A and B are shown apart, each in its own frame.
Chain A
Amino acid sequence: MSLSHNASGFLGTALLALLPLSFSLAAAPSAERQDELEHLLTQDCGACHGLYLTGGLGPSLTRPALAGKTRASLIATITEGRPGTPMPSWKPLLSEPDIAWLVDLLQTREPRP
């Protein structure tokens, strides 16, 4: 388990090293797309991570739970998935700006009451 974690983290870091410009230069999603992404986060990510992202089969994604994780590693996890776990690669469905926006949302928004 820890082996595959390290491997995927390394892979993610390696991939990101190739991509930082495209992430930072990409336009932010439109307001409409942001609504879709937030819905996706609550309903579809929530299927494994919990409706309030407090965890389930997938780990908790609350702000405290993500403390200490870098933006780059979170982007890599969503983009590539986590081999050896049920976390899939979202690359086929989400664009780079979509994923970056979701990570920013997870890292900055206030916890729900």
Chain B
Amino acid sequence: MKHSILHRTLSRLAVAGLLAASLLVSACAPQQLRGSGDLGVIIERASGSVQIIETTGKTRLVRIDGLGDLSHASVVFSRDQRYAYVFGRDGGLSKIDLLERRLEQRIVQGGNSIGGAISQDGTLIAVSNYVPGGVKVFDARTLALVADIPATMLADGSRRSRVVGLVDAPGQNFVFSLFDTGEIWVADFSQGSTPVINRFKQIGKQPYDALITPDGRYYMAGLFGEDGMAQLDLWHPERGVQRVLDGYGRGEQKLPVYKMPHLEGWAVAGEQTFVPAVGQHRVLVLDSRSWKLNDAIEVAGQPVFVMARPDGRQIWVNFAYPDNHRVQVFDSETHQLVADLQPGPAVLHMEFSARGEQLWLSVRDGAQVQIWDPYSLTLLKKLPAQSPSGIFFSSRAQRTGL
């Protein structure tokens, strides 16, 4: 009895000591020189905070508060990988210094926002807004407004179309989709801060998200209002927007979708591309050249993120409510299930380290982030986090479209 009390007291002291040490670390700026290539940002959606983490020792460095409504928040990184730009739902745009470990600047640029992008040369930050519908572009250094691109007014004149699927593209372009009016726009900033805008209309009903292939050539918008995807070949914009996967699933009874799939994690693994179906518990497998459907893999629920391990050998899939406690791993060659995991309640996001030796996943209702070895399929470590959602590593800085 006495022994256990002593033991408990000692362990409490140890915890207090650790807490004091971590407070000390977060109170003063880091003294030692370090790089920023192994850093990352974890969104804590309900508390308006983010954590800066490092993937070498797999530890949390600091929590930063005061970032507003971070539901559906996303992050891009400066090309020197020192700064993280956080896009909040409430229109907040926050610039975080990963090395000084502090919030450097925060502006509220819109009423309701859904993500952003950084330009090819790193000088411009673009944010896509639901309210007011459109895209605003800022100086990455100062966050001063550079350009305002209002979206198309709805036919009834009540408001402008909401904008989704904003990505950067080669040649100092931003590409985005208009959800309500079914358009894809390319805003070209190569001639200066007044963009030349190329508008593609009637591309399909309700584009809800989009992605750009890793080489920056194809922009693909997923359509919620109809089957198929709208594809723009940025090498040949004169050919217009093509429909791929047209008619897929037509006539099938659609299942309800309790969370919209994301296309950002677009999994290109060699000659195959893996994408979440909408309203079907399937991952679609496309030929990366012809964009024809090769296979449809039956999965545990409505897929949300479909991510390829960086070596392309595995495909990791998480799911919408009510199957969001599960993660399934598939072999990209055979399309067979490799692992059927249950990491915890509400797995929202997954992020691979650049070379793929670590996979981090956020378990929102388990209040933790888990670090997995995707080769041995073992859980390496858990880190506490408050309602964690998106996980973003600084290596994204060097990739088009992320």
Which residue numbers of A lie inside 8 Å of B, CB to CB? Answer: 39-40, 42-44, 46-48, 50-52, 54-57, 81, 84, 86, 88-90, 92-93
Of the listed stretches B228-236, B256-264, B287-295, chain A binds B256-264
* B112 and A50 contacting across the interface, CB-CB below 8 Å: yes
* A57 and B179 contacting across the interface, CB-CB below 8 Å: yes
* B112 and A88 contacting across the interface, CB-CB below 8 Å: no
Query: Closest 5 CB pairs between A and B?
Result: A88-B256, A51-B71, A44-B321, A47-B259, A51-B69
| Cβ contacts A to B, 25 pairs, < 8 Å | A40-B321, A42-B46, A43-B346, A43-B364, A43-B365, A44-B258, A47-B72, A47-B259, A47-B260, A48-B260, A50-B71, A51-B45, A51-B46, A51-B69, A52-B69, A55-B112, A55-B131, A57-B179, A57-B260, A81-B256, A86-B206, A86-B257, A88-B258, A89-B256, A93-B322
Known contacts A81-B256, A86-B257; 4 further A-B pairs (Cβ under 8 A): A43-B46, A43-B364, A50-B112, A89-B256
Residue tally, chain B, CB below 8 Å to A: 30
| CB within 8 Å for A56 and B225 given contacts A47-B259, A86-B206 | no
**Interface residue SS majority, chain B:** loop
Q: Which residues of B contact A92 (CB under 8 A)?
A: 256
* A86 and B208 contacting across the interface, CB-CB below 8 Å: yes
Residue-wise interface mask of B (60-86) relative to A, using a CB-CB cutoff of 8 A (1 in contact, 0 not): 000000000111100000000000000
Interface presence of B185 (CB below 8 A): no
- Within the complex, the shortest CB–CB distance from B345 to chain A, in Å, comes to 10
- When C-beta atoms are compared, the residue in chain B nearest to A88 turns out to be B256
Interface presence of B309 (CB below 8 A): no
- Within the complex, the shortest CB–CB distance from A44 to chain B, in Å, comes to 5
* A44 and B112 contacting across the interface, CB-CB below 8 Å: no
* A50 and B69 contacting across the interface, CB-CB below 8 Å: yes
* A56 and B259 contacting across the interface, CB-CB below 8 Å: no
- Within the complex, the shortest CB–CB distance from A103 to chain B, in Å, comes to 18
Per the bound structure, the CA–CA distance linking A44 and B71 in Å amounts to 10
Per the bound structure, the CA–CA distance linking A25 and B364 in Å amounts to 35
Interface presence of B241 (CB below 8 A): no
- Within the complex, the shortest CB–CB distance from B388 to chain A, in Å, comes to 12
Residue-wise interface mask of B (81-95) relative to A, using a CB-CB cutoff of 8 A (1 in contact, 0 not): 000000001100000
Per the bound structure, the CA–CA distance linking A44 and B164 in Å amounts to 19
| CB within 8 Å for A47 and B71 given contacts A55-B130, A56-B89, A88-B257 | yes
- When C-beta atoms are compared, the residue in chain A nearest to B131 turns out to be A55
- When C-beta atoms are compared, the residue in chain B nearest to A89 turns out to be B256
